[in-house]
Amino acid sequence: MSGSHNTLGGDLAVLVLEDGRVFRGEAFGAIGQTLGEAVFSTGMTGYQETLTDPSYHRQIVVSTAPQIGNTGWNQEDDESVGPTGDAAGARIWVAGYVVRDPSRVTSNWRATGSLQDALENQGVVGIASIDTRALVRHLRTRGSMRAGIFSGDALAWSGAGILDTDALLDRVRQQPSMLGADLAGEVSTTTGYTVEPDGEALYTVAAIDLGIKTNTPRMFAQRGIRVHVLPSNATLEQILDLKADGVFLSNGPGDPATADGAVHLTKEVLGQGLPLFGICFGNQILGRALGRGTYKMKFGHRGINIPVIEHETGRISITAQNHGFALEGEAGEEFDTPFGRAIISHTCANDGTVEGVRLLDDSAFSVQYHPEAAAGPHDAAYLFDRFTTLLSARRGTGVSK
C-alpha cells in the first residue's frame, strides 16, 4: 500500500477486480496504489472499529452503507494498539476502503478529525463515488477476489492517453491469494503486554494475539481478569510460567489452514486441562485442534447484524462478524477428539455456517463471531461470563456465572 495526500474533489480513481470488472470513481483518502482481497461489510455504523480491526489486514473493504464518515474519527474507538500494547501505536489495518458517498462534514462531539484525514495521514488508498450496490452484488455472485485501487501516478495510460486497465489488471493478478495466506504473525504483538483488571485481580488469562482487538482485554478486565497478551508464536512454557488460569485465542486475519503453530499450542493447552476460549480465528484454531477441517467461504460474513443459533439453548444472538473462512461441520454434530467428545454448538441462522464448537466437558469452547464487538451488538457478551465461570470452577472459588 502506498499513497500521498488527497482532498476529495474529483481526482480519478479506479477499482479493478481480478475477473476484469472495473469501477471508476473519485480518489478518497490517500492517492496511490493498494492491493488486497475485495470484501464487503454490511455494518451501517462502526466504520472506525472496522478499519482498525487487524482481522481486515490485506483486505479492501467495501461499505454497503451509502454514506460513511458522518461521525469523523476519534482517539477512543481504535480496535488495535501498537506492537508493544501502546495505544499511540494504533493504526488502520485495511488495505483499502471503498465507499459510495463519503460525508464532507464531521458531526460528533468526540471527533478529533475526519475520516478523510485519518485515511490520508496513514496512507490508506480509497475510492468513492462508485455504485457500491452493483459492486456488492458482483462480489456476492462471483465471490470475494483479489483487487486493486489505483489513483494519481499509480494509474496506467496507453500512448493514446487511454486508461490501460489491462496493465492494472496484471498488477492485481500478481498479488498472492488470501487462500494460503499466513498473516497472524504480521499483526501480532512483538513483545507482549499486560492489561490490568478493573479492581482486584481474580484470575489471570494468557491471550494469544493472532490479531486481537482492543476491546477484548477490556471485557476481561471488567470481570476482574488480568490479561497477558502474548505473541502469536507463544509457547506453552510461557503460559505456564504466568500461572495462567485459562487461555484465550483471539481473532485474526488469514487462512487458518496455515496456523499450524497456534494449532499445536492449542493442543498442548487442551492437554493441560486449562480452560480455553476462542473468538473468530480462534474458533477455527480450536476446531482444527479438535480435528475439524476449514474452508474458504464464497464471500464470508462481515457485518453487525448476523443471527447465530446456540443449539443447546435455542438462544439466538445478533452478532458482529468478520471472517472469510469457516469450520466444517453440521448443526449439533457430535464427534470424538483426542480431548474427549465435542459438539458443533452454534450455527448461522442465515446459511448454516459453523459458528461455534465446544468440548462436552465444557473445558474449552469458541465462537466464530465477536462477543466483544465495541460497536455492537452486545447480545453475546455473556460468553465472557461463561468463560469466567470456567476459571472459577477450576480455581474452586465458587464465583457464580
Total domains, the chain: 2
Decide which of 106, 140, 174 is a domain's last residue.
174
Identify whether 246 is part of a domain: yes
Question: Contact, 17 vs 130, CB < 8 A?
Answer: no
Decide which of 174, 209, 244 is a domain's last residue.
174
Are both 91 and 20 inside the same structural domain? yes
Residue 235 DSSP SS3: coil
pLDDT given at position 27: 98
Identify whether 148 is part of a domain: yes
Q: Is 280 a catalytic residue?
A: yes
pLDDT given at position 9: 53
Low-confidence residues in the chain, pLDDT < 50: 2-7, 397-401
Question: Contact, 204 vs 361, CB < 8 A?
Answer: no
Question: Contact, 96 vs 124, CB < 8 A?
Answer: yes
Identify whether 401 is part of a domain: no
Are both 258 and 196 inside the same structural domain? yes
37, 49, 355, 372: the active-site residue: 372
In whole angstroms, how large is the CA radius of gyration of the chain? Answer: 21
Longest Cα–Cα distance of the chain, Å, equals 77
CATH number of the structural domain spanning residue 219: 3.40.50.880
138, 280, 301, 355: the active-site residue: 280
Spatial distance between the Cα atoms of 278 and 356, rounded to a whole number of angstroms: 9
Q: Is 143 left (phi over 0), alpha (psi -120 to 50) or beta?
A: left
Are both 228 and 279 inside the same structural domain? yes
Are both 163 and 270 inside the same structural domain? no
Give the side-chain half-sphere CA count within 13 A for 260. Answer: 2
pLDDT given at position 398: 41
Q: Is 348 a catalytic residue?
A: no
Are both 147 and 294 inside the same structural domain? no
Are both 197 and 167 inside the same structural domain? no
pLDDT digit string (tens) for 217-271?
A: 999 999 999 999 999 999 999 999 999 999 999 999 999 999 999 999 999 999 9
Among candidate residues 26, 24, 23, 20, the one with its CA nearest the CA of residue 6: 26
- Model pTM? 0.94
Provide the Cα torsion 234, 237, 239, 244; round to 10°: 180
57, 323, 346, 370: the active-site residue: 370
> What phi and psi values does residue 273 have, to the nearest 5 degrees?
75, 15
Instruction: Quote the Cα angle for 171-172-173, to 5°.
Output: 95
DSSP 176: P
Residue 255 DSSP SS3: coil
Give the residue numbers spanning the domain of 48: 2-174
Are both 293 and 386 inside the same structural domain? yes
Q: Identity (one letter) of the amino acid at 346?
A: H
Decide which of 134, 154, 174 is a domain's last residue.
174
Question: Contact, 338 vs 299, CB < 8 A?
Answer: no
Q: Identity (one letter) of the amino acid at 24?
A: R
CATH number of the structural domain spanning residue 107: 3.50.30.20
> What phi and psi values does residue 399 have, to the nearest 5 degrees?
-70, 130
Identify whether 90 is part of a domain: yes
Are both 230 and 331 inside the same structural domain? yes
DSSP 232: T
Q: Is 312 a catalytic residue?
A: no
Q: Which residues pair with 249 in a beta bridge?
A: 208, 278
